[in-house]
Amino acid sequence: MLVEYLREIQRLHGYLPETELKALSERESIPLYLIHSVASFYSTFKFKPPPKATFKICTDLSCHLHGACDILETLEETANLAGLVDWEILEQSCLGQCDGAPAISVNNQIYRNISVENLGDFAESLISNHQLPHRPINRDVNKGVIDPYNPPLKNYSLNQWASGTDPDWFVNVIKESGLFGMGGAGFPTGLKWELVRKTQAATKYVICNADESEPGTFKDREILRHYSHLIIEGMILGGLVIGATQGYIFLRHEYQQEREILLQTIKTYYSEGYLGDRILDTDSSFHLNIFDSPGGYICGEETALLEAIEGKRAEPRNKPPFPGTDGLHGCPTLINNVETFAWIPSIIKRGGQWFKSHGVNNRQGLKYIALSGHIEKPGVYEIPLGIRIIDLIQEYGGGVSGGRQLKAFSPGGISSGFLPAKMSDISVDLKSLSEVGSMLGSGGIIVIAEGTDMVDLVRNTLRFFRNESCGKCVPCRVGTDYLVQASNKILESNFSSDMLNSVKDISETMELTSICGLGQAAPKPLLSAIEYFPDEFEKYGVNIYPDFPSDVGAPDA
């Protein structure tokens, strides 16, 4: 409950006064050092009274490609020239609005598609009347499909379970479908459900990981907004199948509009008898709550997420043991992400073969993909697995924006690194991307047009990983900062080619010894850019070949 206590104090005061923290320590018998340790870890908690205006400008990859740095610089100059000492202007890690880049947060309200020109509206409004202009997020919440506040409660899977269907039947259907974890790890979903179901324990939990925070990734946001009932139905079925009575949706704290939709849907499910005690007049119960993430990309790592719910610093655990056997509060815990749970009801209703039949090019299954960057029609698209990247860009996304040529792309969020345009005929699936040293990852494809400086993009991605590292393990804490400093030196033409050996050594150490995927994947943008875009480094005086170790591979390897 520590995180909840801190949230309540900040809600009342706008920050965490030291007197309130001491009172909390005495009242709950929690050591003060422990309270400070947790509160200082999360970006949402503040130890000083907030200024009149806090501007947070997202500067990560998609927003960076659309001029976020110019917006940051203009806003800083405006505040300095006007003497606005009560304004706070900060760089912000990804806000999850990559399809509306560049995005900013003003006093915790998110605004999309900001330009240097319309930025003046915010400044003028705050200076003149201390009020923000009304500029809601411009998205159609219904899209002509469903009303999120009145979801269709057909719930075929839950009704089938209530009729007495063997829980193992549900597991087998999911296994037959080939559904894998859609959050990045790609672990077979049916196998995960089976493992947790077979683990003997008096208490089990179900958790939906809705904390997508990687630049280029926002598909779960749209699923939360439009198909909340499918997520909740999938979670309830998961709880009933594995024998859990409590579930949590671990929700990214910026997703406030999505939170409102979820709350309304959960309320409806309780009123209709699909949540609570004695579900559908059976002896089984399942309760569901929302846990708002305290903030930070690392919270999306499944064991760090567990630590956060338990009121601790969101630092990843060493594995094994895995959450399926030793999860929340040491109990077996089923953790799937938003998209994975959302596919469950359709698979149960239509069968495993139905899901597998939708792939193309000898691949099987369906997937939601987020398109952003230099693309004419950014957004979230449902695609058959196996579709080529180039077809996805042209047929779904309308091609590279401004009529430019494709230079590169990131196929699965920035953790997947960069691939060149000549590889855009690769298909979107786990195996194909893994075979070229990349990954499907979080399902966020970032399109990069000709004329973009790849070394500059590398530094941008490395800064994200450094800023979001929890700092628990030395390889990630030291390695991410080292790689950022190396990229700075390259851009300053102050990097000698013989230093590449150190870059390679540090990167290998991070990949092999970091506790979690953040540190393991952080070097990939740099290494992939060196492999496929050596000329980009050579213009800064870095001779990649033959000095760089040969096992990295030449551009055409």
pLDDT digits (tens, 9 = 90+) for 295-349: 999 999 999 999 999 999 999 999 999 999 999 999 999 999 999 999 999 999 9
Whether residue 162 lies inside any domain: the answer is no
Whether residue 136 lies inside any domain: the answer is no
> What Å distances lie between residue 158 and 315, 424, 541, CA to CA?
35, 41, 63
Whether residue 158 lies inside any domain: the answer is no
Where in the sequence is the domain holding 424, given as residue range(s)? Answer: 361-449
Assign 138 a pLDDT band (cuts: 50, 70, 90).
very low
Assign 52 a pLDDT band (cuts: 50, 70, 90).
confident
pLDDT of amino acid 143: 35
Whether residue 44 lies inside any domain: the answer is no
Whether residue 241 lies inside any domain: the answer is yes
Whether residue 230 lies inside any domain: the answer is yes
C-beta separation of 288 from 235 below 8 A: yes
Whether 27 and 58 map to the same domain: the answer is: no
pLDDT tens column, 248-288: 999 999 999 999 999 999 999 999 999 999 999 999 999 99
Residue with tokens 């598909």: 219
Whether residue 303 lies inside any domain: the answer is yes
pLDDT of amino acid 79: 84
Whether 21 and 64 map to the same domain: the answer is: no
d(CA 40, CA 48): 12
The mean pLDDT value for 531-544 works out to 92
d(CA 407, CA 448): 6
Whether 432 and 318 map to the same domain: the answer is: no
Whether 398 and 427 map to the same domain: the answer is: yes
pLDDT at 147 exceeding the cut of 70: no
Q: Select from 152, 160, 167, 118 the least CA-distant residue to 138.
A: 118
Secondary structure of residue 131 in the 3-state scheme: coil
Out of 81-85, 121-125, 438-442, which region has the weakest mean confidence (pLDDT)? Answer: 121-125
pLDDT of amino acid 548: 53
The mean pLDDT value for 370-374 works out to 97
CATH, residue 519: 1.20.1440.230
d(CA 446, CA 40): 32
Whether 290 and 277 map to the same domain: the answer is: yes
How many domains does the chain divide into?
5
Letter for the amino acid at 285? S
- Dihedral (CA of 151, 152, 157, 161) sign: positive
CA angle 165, 166, 172 (to 5 degrees): 110
Distance of CA 421 to the CA centre of its chain: 25
DSSP line for 107-173:
TTEEE-S--HHHHHHHHHHHHHHS----------SSTTT--TTS-----HHHHHHHTT--HHHHHHH
Whether residue 406 lies inside any domain: the answer is yes
Q: 371 has which bridge partners?
A: 379, 445
Whether 517 and 401 map to the same domain: the answer is: no
d(CA 152, CA 166): 25
DSSP line for 195-246:
HHHHS--S--EEEEEE---STT--HHHHHHHH-HHHHHHHHHHHHHHHT--E
What is the DSSP pairing of strand 205-210 with strand 246-251? Answer: parallel
* Residue where a domain terminates, one of 323, 353, 383: 353
Neighbours of 54 (CB within 10 A): 16
d(CA 145, CA 275): 24
pLDDT of amino acid 144: 32
Whether 185 and 227 map to the same domain: the answer is: yes
* Residue where a domain terminates, one of 328, 353, 378: 353
The mean pLDDT value for 77-91 works out to 86
* Residue where a domain terminates, one of 414, 449, 484: 449
Whether 472 and 326 map to the same domain: the answer is: no
CATH, residue 442: 3.10.20.600
Q: 379 has which bridge partners?
A: 371
d(CA 489, CA 499): 11
What is the DSSP pairing of strand 366-373 with strand 444-449? Answer: parallel
Whether 190 and 306 map to the same domain: the answer is: yes
pLDDT at 197 exceeding the cut of 50: yes
Residue with tokens 């496929």: 532
Whether 380 and 250 map to the same domain: the answer is: no
Peptide bond into 378 cis (omega under 30): no
Q: What is the mean pLDDT of the chain?
A: 91
Whether 61 and 31 map to the same domain: the answer is: no
Out of 132-136, 227-231, 375-379, 495-499, which region has the weakest mean confidence (pLDDT)? Answer: 132-136
Whether 444 and 459 map to the same domain: the answer is: no
Length of the chain: 557
d(CA 314, CA 329): 14
pLDDT at 212 exceeding the cut of 90: yes
